[in-house]
Amino acid sequence: MIMKKEIKNIMELVKENLIEHINHTIHKCTPNDCMPIMDILKVYNDYQENEKDGIDYIFNMNNNEDLICIIKGGCTAYEIGMAFISNTNKRNNTSFFFYGINHPKIEMLNLLEIYNILILYREEIAMYILKYPNRYMGLYNKFIANHLYEE
């Protein structure tokens, strides 16, 4: 029972620190550079890819591997180009998008949508950080290890 309570406390600590990190860093993102949240986005995408078969994976137009993946999935260069042009015209201006089973056409995402997705999936992201501390050592140290030693 004590162990279960401690795990729950650690999960709450991670979720709390995750929200604080996202709130603090999302505002540092620019339309073409979202490096401040890329570490969290990587955990989210790893979770989506490994646990949910990539259903709601967030692709990045600035990532060649992501572009190759969607082209292999049936998306044409024309569709990619048109989505990018349309996105630029709307002043949405991020390079992130959904594409796949749940999103048959490229669906561009703005920073607020990315923020909301990361907050919505905070528990899964926190659990993934705890599940793979070596893979996400920087986040593990930032959200867990440093805070455990403060007490």
Assigned token pair, 38: 């890329």
Q: What is the pLDDT of residues 10-66, one digit of tens each?
A: 778 888 888 888 887 777 776 556 666 888 999 999 999 999 998 999 998 888 999
What's the angle, vertex CA 98, arms to CA 28 and CA 65, rounded to 5? 85
Residue 101 confidence (pLDDT) above 80: yes
CA distance 144 to 109: 30
pTM: 0.83
30 bridge partner residues? 33
The 8-class DSSP code of residue 143 comes to I
* Higher-pLDDT residue of 9, 150: 9
Residue 90 confidence (pLDDT) above 80: no
